Amino acid sequence: MTRRATLALFAAAPLAGALIPRAALAREPEIFQNPIAINGTDPVGYFQEGKPVAGSPAHKAMRRGADWHFSNAGNAEAFLADPERYTPVFGGYCAYAASLGYLAPTIPEAWTIHDGKLYLNASLRARELWMQDIPGNIAAGLKNWPGILG
């Protein structure tokens, strides 16, 4: 292949990517994983201890296509007994980003429990913005969810 032909192929690659139907692209997982659900943080810990608690591979469960880690066996059992109570809204993706119509990863320190539901955010700044209008942000996020998964 000549250099000119090679350059033409590289130049056409972005256009070819734009022509691929969206349905052909991989859908994002329903649960944010990095590679463990919600960064390996114990979701029950937010409710039980009022703070992020690191999970352990010694106490894990599989749910909705993701591995979840827990700080102890009791938290794993609580999660499995009532997963909807402890699973973060928007699958553990950033709740503020979901309200704006896109996905963003989250950090354990940026969290809120509102009306008994756990919401995570990408940063402490995103959490500040999220908290300026929690009900409005939830409503906007729910309109976008799960369509923003792809």
The 10s digit of each residue's pLDDT in 8-45 is 433 443 433 333 333 445 789 999 999 999 999 999 99
Residues of the chain with pLDDT under 50: 1-24
Answer whether residue 24 is part of any domain: no
| Summary mean pLDDT of the chain | 88
Task: Look at residues 38, 58, 84 and tell me which one is the last residue of a structural domain.
Answer: 84
Answer whether residue 19 is part of any domain: no
Predicted pLDDT of residue 119: 98
| pTM for the full predicted model | 0.82
Q: Give yes or no: residues 51 and 101 share one domain.
A: no
Answer whether residue 137 is part of any domain: yes
Residue type, 141: G
**Number of domains the chain contains:** 2
Which residues are 113's β-sheet partners? 118
In the chain, at which residue ranges do the beta strands (DSSP E only) sit? 56-63, 66-70, 111-114, 117-120
